[in-house]
Amino acid sequence: MSPVSTRSPVRTASAVSTRSAVSPAAPAPGRTTLLRRLAPAVLVVAALLTLWQAAVTLTGVRPQVLPSPLRVLEQGWAFRGALWDNALPTIQVTAIGFAVSLTVAWAIAIAVDFSPWLRRALTPLLVASQTLPVMAIAPLLIIWFGFGLLPKVLVIALVTFFPVAVGLIEGFAATDRSATALLRSMGASRLQQFRYVRLPGALPSFFTALRVAITYAVTGAIFAEYVGARAGLGIFMQLQKNQFRTDLVLAAVAVTAVLSIALFGLTYAVQRLVTPWYRGDHR
């Protein structure tokens, strides 16, 4: 037997015992499992950063071309005030844009679920909305609606509402036919079928779609700002790039990444609250 195969049952056993110890009263073991789950990602990122740092040091490439990660960190910290001032409008526009997107996606998905006519009418439009080249549309939105909130909200909504709407529509439609038959045999109205089966059944599919969409949301906001804005990480990157401050561009990129990952993680937290029953199947 190889050492790996002899060790793995032990590891499984310890993981099980840790999991069974997880309870609201004992947060410490929960933190251990979280750490254990994050460890591989942290290791890989650390390795990549080390490699990057070594490459920059060894080749002596100019920082305007490629700054070292330590320089990015150092300059990012030095300009933390500016980064924060520009991150806030980005967060704000992302939140508003995503809220609009979610509202529209839910409204359309529910309408489509109740009306086969609307499904046929709207599906091509939904697909078309996703094939619009945002690169071309975003500058037009700025021309039409100026440098305020509206064009950015529209860009975010445009890039994020499609995955959410499709996730919901397919989640509703994936309802087991026999579950529908059971509800109908109980005399359930279409609204009751939706409330008791289609809606809760679609939630896992919704959260999967939400995770895809939320990563688009931040990049959508950055892109919209890149095209034209008074403040925000997008316009910040644009300005720093023009001044050959590659390090600050990358610092802003890092902030964007952290923001996206935080929002991504937030979806899991919300999902646990909304669909606690799904947790068991999820692991």
270: contact with other proteins by CB under 8 A: no
> Which pair of structure tokens corresponds to residue 129?
């909305």
Query: Quick one: which segment of 4-12, 103-111, 182-190, 224-232 binds other proteins (CB under 8 A)?
Result: 182-190
Return phi, psi of residue 29, to 5°. -65, -35
Q: What is the nearest approach in angstroms of other proteins to the Cβ of residue 116?
A: 13
Interface pick for other proteins out of 128, 144, 176, 272 (rule CB under 8 A): 176
**Positions 187 through 226 that interact with other proteins (CB under 8 A):** 187-188, 192, 196-197, 200-201, 203
Burial 25-60 (b: 16+ CB within 10 A, else e): eeeeeeeeeeeeeeeeeeeeeeeeeeebeeebeeee
| Alpha-carbon 185 to chain mean position | 40
Q: Please work out the total of residues on this chain that contact other proteins, with binding judged by CB under 8 A.
A: 22
C-beta of residue 174 within 8 angstroms of C-beta of residue 205: yes
278: contact with other proteins by CB under 8 A: yes
User: Which amino acid belongs to residue 214?
Assistant: I
> Which pair of structure tokens corresponds to residue 230?
């008074």
User: Which CB sits closer to other proteins, 151 or 204?
Assistant: 204
173: contact with other proteins by CB under 8 A: no
181: contact with other proteins by CB under 8 A: yes
185: contact with other proteins by CB under 8 A: yes
User: Which CB sits closer to other proteins, 40 or 187?
Assistant: 187
184: contact with other proteins by CB under 8 A: yes
User: Which CB sits closer to other proteins, 68 or 193?
Assistant: 193
85: contact with other proteins by CB under 8 A: no
Distance of alpha carbon 205 from alpha carbon 282, whole angstroms: 12
User: Which CB sits closer to other proteins, 24 or 187?
Assistant: 187
Q: What is the nearest approach in angstroms of other proteins to the Cβ of residue 168?
A: 16
128: contact with other proteins by CB under 8 A: no
User: Which CB sits closer to other proteins, 42 or 181?
Assistant: 181
Our CA angle for 84, 265, 96, nearest 5°, is 55
174: contact with other proteins by CB under 8 A: no
Transcribe 65-123 into DSSP letters: T---HHHHHHHHHHTHHHHHHHHHHHHHHHHHHHHHHHHHHHHHHHHHHH-HHHHHHHH
Distance of alpha carbon 259 from alpha carbon 163, whole angstroms: 20
> Which pair of structure tokens corresponds to residue 100?
């609009």
275: contact with other proteins by CB under 8 A: yes
Residues that bind other proteins (CB under 8 A): 176, 178-179, 181-188, 192, 196-197, 200-201, 203, 275, 277-278, 280-281
